[in-house]
Amino acid sequence: MSVSQPSIFQRISTALVQWIDADYCPDGAAKMRQEPDKVDWVRVLPFVVLHIGCLGVIWVGWSPIAVAAAVILYFGRMFAVTGIYHRYFSHKTYSTSRLGQFLLAVWGGTTVQRGPLWWAYHHRHHHRHSDDEHDAHSPHVHGFLWSHIGWITSRRNFPTDYSQVKDLAKFPELVFLNRFDIIVPAVFAGLIYGVGALLEAYAPGLGTSGPQLLVWGFFISTTALFHGTSCINSMAHLMGKRRYKTEDDSRNSFILSIICLGEGWHNNHHRYQSATRNGFYWWEFDPTYYGLKALSWTGLIWGFKRVPQSVLDEGRHQEHLETVAAAARAGSAGPSPSSLKKVVPTAAALAVGAMQAAHAEAPDKAAGAAQHQDVSSLAAEAPESKPDRQG
């Protein structure tokens, strides 16, 4: 079925209104979602503005406090992306009160990554279609650049499909923040400017100003935050190791976990999405989880979901098989005098590995379906279930 294309004038006027009201779709959201998947240059403009804003540093200069603000606001808001938009709104890996949920949504809005429902809808869609042709941002299907930034500029990815986030759409205050998703970022940018102006007036020794703090705290920090977050879409299905044999190509990367505060354990997360932590083992650095743990001490959030023992065991078993396979590969290269002493342990490891493989529960198609069950069931959830408060 061919979909008639809007004229350039229609696209510009629609985009202008959509920057204020994100639910404005004159021809209907369903029709917009069927449009060709391509860059809409009108939608590129906000990204151009964001990046050009960084060049303001030429005029405003720098100061230690401005650089510190950029760093603190990067990590403070990366935590909002990972701990709030991802681990709460997309996956509900912990519980909070209705007021707590609203406060978290406002914090999430400061990331300038659209509203919580739009974010959760797209992320749940990614889990249902990881690396297949319907995945909006698979580097394997669409290439690196498209998965990193292109997909956001496509008109078909602009509207929120509220039918896929019914559990969130039943809260009018969340729908409001999602629809008018420019409010929080605009107020946030204004506040940063205001703090800079106040510091200039009352603490001139710090050497900052409203424009300087705006450039560092908003433009530079937000641009870095955008690219840091996008690395999960573009890199986390390309770079790193695959502990779990999931049906997608998700990977675990320590480097991405530093950039994205623990989200680099993406293969773990694709295997079991419902857990509050993405670093499944103690040595997997997951600052988002540590931050959420600290936040739980305030009473704002509770009810963390654990990684099932069976999933942990499966991970250890897969790593063991990897070790055995690596040893077998080394052995097949032919024994050298120096490696002869490794032959006997390798043969023993192969025998143990084969035995364990025979008894192991390898993830089959049915298990694959179970991995995706949680996002589907979240989307369909309509009645409010009383959260169960636990430590």
Which residues contribute to the site for Zn ion (CB under 5 A)? 250
Chain centre distance of CA 324: 33
**Chain residue at closest Cβ approach to Zn ion:** 250
In whole angstroms, how close is the CB of 27 to Zn ion at the nearest point?
31
Give dist(CA 89, CA 81) in Å, integer.
Answer: 10
The smaller minimum CB distance to Zn ion, of residues 179 and 271, is found at 271
Q: Between 178 and 234, whose beta carbon lies closer to Zn ion? A: 234
Q: CA dihedral defined by 286, 288, 290, 293, rounded to 10 degrees?
A: -140
State in angstroms the smallest separation of the CB of 241 from Zn ion: 15
For Zn ion, which is the closer residue by CB, 154 or 250?
A: 250
**Of 352, 311, 303, the residue nearest 328 (C-alpha):** 352
CB of 390 to Zn ion, least distance (A): 22
- Between the alpha carbon of residue 166 and those of residues 119, 162, 170, 171, 295, the distances in Å are 14, 6, 6, 9, 26
Q: Are the beta carbons of 66 and 216 closer than 8 angstroms?
A: yes
Nearer to Zn ion, 229 or 250 (CB): 250
Match 């009383």 to its residue by tokens. Answer: 386
- Rounded to the nearest whole angstrom, what is the least distance from the CB of residue 253 to Zn ion in the complex? 12
Give min distance, CB of 193 to Zn ion, in A.
Answer: 34
Nearer Cβ to Zn ion (221/250): 250
**Whole-angstrom distance, CA of residue 127 vs CA of residue 104:** 23
Nearest approach, Cβ of 70 to Zn ion (angstroms)?
A: 27
Look up residue 241 and give its DSSP letter: B
Dihedral through CA 110, CA 265, CA 95, CA 374, nearest 10?
A: 110
- State the nearest-atom distance from the C-beta of 60 to Zn ion, in Å: 37
- Backbone φ and ψ for 56, nearest 5 degrees, come out as -55, -20
Q: Which is nearer to Zn ion, 176 or 254 (CB)?
A: 254
DSSP state at residue 280: -
Task: In whole angstroms, give the CA distance from residue 224 to residue 16.
Answer: 25
Nearer to Zn ion, 110 or 288 (CB): 288
Question: Which secondary-structure segment (H or E) carries 302?
Answer: strand 301-302
CB of 186 to Zn ion, least distance (A): 28
86 vs 179, beta carbon nearer Zn ion: 86
